[in-house]
Chain A
Amino acid sequence: MAGSPYARGARDAAFAAFVAFVIALPMVGMRTVDRNLRLTLDFRLVEVASIVVLVFAGRFAMRLVGEGLARLVLPAAIAVVVGGWFADFATQTLKVVAVGGGLVVAATAILAIVKGARSARPVAPSAGPGLAARFAAGFQRSTVLVGIVGVAFAFALPLLPFADRRVLDVATTLLTYIMLGWGLNIVVGLAGLLDLGYVAFYAVGAYAFALLAMSLGLGFWEALPLAAVAGAVSGILLGFPVLRLRGDYFAIVTLGFGEIIRVILLTWVPVTGGPSGIGNIPRPDFFGMAEFVRRPVEGQVAFHQMFGLEFDVLHRLIFLYYLILVLALVVNVVTLRLRKLPLGRAWEALREDDIACTSLGIDRTNVKLAAFAIAATFGAIAGSFFATRQGFISPESFSFIESAIILAIVVLGGMGSQTGVVVATLVVIGLPEVFRDLAEYRMIAFGLGMVLIMLWRPSGLLAHREPTVRLHPAGGPPAETPAAGTAR
């Protein structure tokens, strides 16, 4: 195309703006409002205009970066980000678009500048892994440090000044999903079996816990291990028929099993209560010694009396928080340990090539069944926790979308990476919580985020894999002659 880079960029950006206008006019520009039983149209032309302007500016900036004018674009983009942050917009969404768009443009410009600087030096060490990949590798290597800091922070959280009810609630939810993510990571990330019905085990655990606690009058600490056993048994029962299947078929059948469990919960009214669920599930007590209530039953003590504190509902929340934190950490430690054992290595080998596994005398069914049973146990424990935390469960909590979210956490984190699960949970569960103000746009932002992550790092945020056993210390090959061939 002819013309200066500006003219070309402007033409291209104008076209993009036109497309944005066509799409935005009906979707954003018009809104039906119910006035006195009559539907009328409201027009929101300011929003449409802002969208068109933003799209034009964004596209134009990207083109200029492409034309090698990144240095010019960068300050403008930063100005937009900073300005967008403080300025008042018609809607919250526009603010996010302006700031987010500015950030993306700025990042692209920086990348372009860095790349340009590197290619200007012809002798620079070539390509190598990208910046993000190196960051992921470095992050993964320093896992021990990051892990210690993370765990210390998690333990300290309830004591921090900002830890109010809402923060603890969000943190507890995050930890539940982290635990589920770690559980599913065994099946999907390590063993490479695409399980679309993991929520089934979550449900089995929750219902087993609720029924055991209600009908046999068991306390939390007795019902929990039994629910875990129920999870393991259900894992083996469901696993046995499906583990012969491969790839897509396996995924579809697990999807079916997830739904079957939900439908059973929905229709087996005498036992499960059907759609109305089970309520009044016993709350956890303080290791059978005290309860978290204001006025304990005659002859028992309450937690606050035992420790001579004022009664505070936060006590129970903090206890729940620590409970799930410890449960999740146990899952993590067991998984990390298993990964370095023959069973864990066989899982990964199975993911890499199951035919080669057979040729080495590995019984695939046993190995897969072990993965399924262990993951199911972890899922069921998380389910028990969910039941006791909510005090009420119904089939609605165990729909396919839950399986999908847990799977998204595992895939986004980088299959098989334990830290990846944590980071991805913060993104997938944490961000929507933080952006609650975005209301209905939350899910769009969520989808957008997923697409961006997959474009940027197709194999997950922390996809780098550390070997389970090393011959040489980490960080490069040994100091022997780098050029093989002399050592013949």
Chain B
Amino acid sequence: MSGGARTPLLTVEHLSMRFGGLVAVDDVGFTAYDREITAVIGPNGAGKTTLFNCLTGFYKPTAGRLALARGGGTFLLERMPAHLIARRAGVARTFQNIRLFAGMSVLENLIVAQHNRLQAASGWSIKGMFGLPSYRAAEREALEKAKAWLERIRLTRRADEPAGDLPYGDQRRLEIARAMCTDPVLLCLDEPAAGLNPRESSELAELLQDIRDSARIGVLLIEHDMSVVMRISDHVVVLDYGRKIADGPPDAVRDDPAVIKAYLGEDDEDELPPEVAADLGVGTAEGRP
């Protein structure tokens, strides 16, 4: 937990994302703080991934503001192209369905993540082509950083194997390490514990806490595994059908009736189309207004 004053890192205001008639994210606002883990939870289709895609520039939001504070300045993410959000604003992410460079080695995945610094050091490949010392130094530094992360996620031994050959849990951790190699100020993780066994999830939780405390950055975490969420998050935002239905510390959110209702789906029957409900013989007495 962060002691003392909390510094806002990301401020989301009135964010909406519409796909044709479908409103996937509907007027959502919240704040994620520096050096905190902010969890975003909600049932399937609640709009969590869409929120991430807006935040990282893959979707252009229909409306709203995404302000990220970095180094005294503010970046308005909704106006920036995706690669600049990663490069200038320092927002890194992982994907719900892992997106590693499967044919490249584990080590290469971590080196590619440091592309922009290396590319600058290589003088658009000219200095690199001749192996000038300044480039060599930058490359060595990149390699050291990659090695440190490999140690941390315990993949040093498999560094030279294609990333696609790793087991699922290792791939998830590698994707996080790769995102961290871009030196982000905000790390966005889309269901990092999906498909992990309980021991792996628990290790992941430790890794995330460690990242928050040692790298001193903000983490935004989409997760269905409540044991992970409740254990490590400092702050929880709950979405349902694109709207924010709760926002607060984990304990408070867990006991929130609106959240329980969204998860247990109390009012599912109302959602059934009338003809299906009639088939099932459940309450369809009241006609449409």
Contacts and interface: CB of A to CB of B under 8 A. Distances in A.
Q: Do A and B come from one complex?
A: yes
Contacts of B115: 342, 345-346, 349, 360-362
Contact of B95 (A345, A356, A370, A477): A356
A8 interface: no
Contacts of A472: 159-160
Given A359-B56, A467-B160, A342 B122 contact: yes
B119 A469 contact: no
A370 to B, nearest CB: 8
Contacts of A352: 100-104
Interface in A440-488: 465, 467-472, 474, 477-478, 480, 484, 487-488
A341 B125 contact: yes
Nearest to B85: A361
Contacts of B284: none
Contacts of B179: 359-360
A217 B179 CA distance: 56
Interface string B203-238: 000000000000000000000000000000000000
Contacts of B156: 471
Interface string A388-416: 00000000000000000000000000000
A359 B94 CA distance: 8
A23 interface: no
Nearest to B188: A359
Contact of A467 (B87, B102, B105, B128): B105
B86 A470 contact: no
Interface in B41-65: 56-58
Interface stretch (B106-114, B246-254, B255-263): B106-114
A96 interface: no
Interface size class of A (residues with CB under 8 A): 35 or more
B288 interface: no
Contact of A337 (B82, B99, B129, B154): B129
Interface string B119-141: 10010110011000000000000
Contacts of B84: 361
A343 interface: yes
B150 interface: yes
Contacts of A470: 105, 107, 159-160
A358 interface: yes
Contacts of B152: none
Given A343-B119, A359-B92, A487 B154 contact: yes
A164 interface: no
B103 A467 contact: no
Contacts of B82: 358-359
A169 interface: no
Interface string A350-381: 01110111111111100000100000000000
Contact of B157 (A358, A363, A467, A478): A478
Given A471-B156, A471-B160, A353 B119 contact: no
Given A360-B178, A470-B107, A484-B157, A342 B86 contact: no
A471 B150 contact: yes
Contacts of A348: 101, 103-104, 108
B83 A358 contact: yes
B84 to A, nearest CB: 7
B143 interface: yes
A194 B82 CA distance: 24
Given A343-B122, A345-B112, A349-B101, A477 B107 contact: no
A423 B119 CA distance: 32
B173 interface: no
Given A334-B129, A342-B125, A345-B111, A360 B104 contact: no
A336 B230 CA distance: 50
Q: Which of A361, A480, A484 has the most CB of B within 10 A?
A: A361
Contacts of A355: 58, 95, 99
A356 B100 CA distance: 7
Given A342-B125, A351-B103, 7 more contacts: A345-B104, A345-B112, A352-B101, A467-B107, A469-B105, A470-B160, A472-B160
Interface of B: 56-58, 82-84, 86-87, 92-93, 95, 99-105, 107-108, 111-113, 115-116, 118-119, 122, 124-125, 128-129, 143, 147, 150, 154, 156-160, 162, 178-179, 182
Interface of A: 334, 337-338, 341-343, 345-346, 348-349, 351-353, 355-364, 370, 465, 467-472, 474, 477-478, 480, 484, 487-488
26 contacts: A341-B125, A342-B115, A343-B128, A345-B104, A352-B100, A353-B102, A355-B95, A355-B99, A356-B99, A356-B100, A358-B82, A358-B83, A358-B86, A359-B92, A359-B93, A360-B113, A361-B87, A362-B83, A363-B83, A465-B162, A467-B104, A469-B107, A471-B147, A471-B150, A477-B157, A484-B154
